[in-house]
Structure 1
């Protein structure tokens, strides 16, 4: 494991026992099933289904978490990804803000592939009115996966509640990967809250680099998510 990964793992081991002793500690978990493993506009599964499972422990505004993702990439051999994260939630000038430091590891890769890295991410959301919410996602990695080095991602989006359970979504993002592929992503979708903790959505995504193959092409996929 890299030095960054070791430091983050140590932070998790220190924070979790302290949080566990506090009466206000809150635990949560979520599982998801996607018919195509789309992430930031491109497929992580070569068009096949993806399954994720994650858990968090929060103490006040601070939280720690872990995440597992199934993946598929025959060029590198990767078959899953694991994450460990340390985050902070707050409110700034009416915006809900979440910042996270995430250690990501791609497992199953061939020998010699740079398969672990740190990513730093900030998400902000602001209610523009009772139905409309604006969202912003910014991410930075100083040394990303594989041949990519410095990498950034910026995405803005809107959620519009048609009804208390039915929400329309639209987003536009840009990905920069030093020594790899830069692209612009587009997303449109609709989600339905079957219950307060079970959600189903239908999403269409594409990028401006569809000529590079199916990974960057059009995808319409279903997502089912369950919170605990």
Structure 2
């Protein structure tokens, strides 16, 4: 974990130098985020076996906000022996009939996985969302034709609702269903609040759980705290 965490920190710290070289371009701009949490949760399941994690991402967005792309890293705990996942993704954000749409393609791989392990995969995501005053709603559909490891294709469908209580405090709750070939099918849910400590610093406290009947911390319930800094 220490070695992968060091790699992640070095990568994250190198991102601002890339930004300095690129942010002056008239075609678009770079933004960055770094953070850490008590558990790395994705689709309501843990990717770090319940251990703390760190993450960082860089994102270039064109001038009108329609297209974006960039790399990201996050620490994990995988049966492949990898403790770091890297990814590159790109997407578009059209507005259709008053709804915000986000269509994304991501390629990710596990760094330093053992020989013979299927350590990379593609992930495709479609999100549609709408805000009316303080109320928010979002539907997410994700698909991968071949997951990492022994599991194959999977789909994830999630509905989420939210409410802005104040300018700084918001809450969300979500329920999702994951169907996986050669792996566990489950329903997951989470609910929590996000507080904007400053314009760039957020803290999120969230409860996660699933109905998966599997041992270990991957699908177990957990209260997760995450802090993120954007610049």
TM range (shorter): 0.7 to 0.9
Tell me which residue corresponds to 1:84.
Answer: 88
The count of aligned residue pairs is: 208
1:71 aligns with 2:76: yes
| Matching of residues 41-190 of structure 1 within 5 Å | 41-59=44-62, 60=64, 61-73=66-78, 75-127=79-131, 129-190=132-193
Q: Provide Cα deviations, 1:144-165, integer angstroms capped at 9, x if missing partner.
A: 1111111111111011111111
| Contact preservation (8 Å) 1:210, 1:217 | no
Select which of 193, 203, 212 maps to 1:200.
203
Q: Secondary structure at the residue paired with 1:23?
A: coil
Tell me which residue corresponds to 2:33.
Answer: 30
Q: Provide Cα deviations, 1:68-103, integer angstroms capped at 9, x if missing partner.
A: 011113x32121100011111111111111111111
Q: Secondary structure at the residue paired with 1:133?
A: strand
Q: Normalising by the residue count of structure 2, what TM-score does the alignment of the two structures yield?
A: 0.86
Q: Secondary structure at the residue paired with 2:197?
A: strand
Tell me which residue corresponds to 2:194.
Answer: 191
Tell me which residue corresponds to 1:14.
Answer: none
Q: Normalising by the residue count of structure 1, what TM-score does the alignment of the two structures yield?
A: 0.87
Tell me which residue corresponds to 2:228.
Answer: 225
Q: Provide Cα deviations, 1:165-220, integer angstroms capped at 9, x if missing partner.
A: 11111000111111111111010101101112211010000000154322101110
| Contact preservation (8 Å) 1:44, 1:72 | yes
Runs of 4+ in 1 over 2 A off after TM superposition: 19-22, 210-213
Q: Provide Cα deviations, 1:50-82, integer angstroms capped at 9, x if missing partner.
A: 111000111131111100011113x32121100
Unaligned residue ranges in structure 1 (runs of 5+): 1-18
Tell me which residue corresponds to 1:13.
Answer: none
Task: Give the CA deviation at 1:21.
Answer: 8.6
Unaligned residue ranges in structure 2 (runs of 5+): 1-21
Task: Give the CA deviation at 1:22.
Answer: 5.0
> Following the alignment from structure 1 to structure 2, what is the Cα–Cα distance between the partners of residues 199 and 124?
23
| Contact preservation (8 Å) 2:113, 2:119 | yes
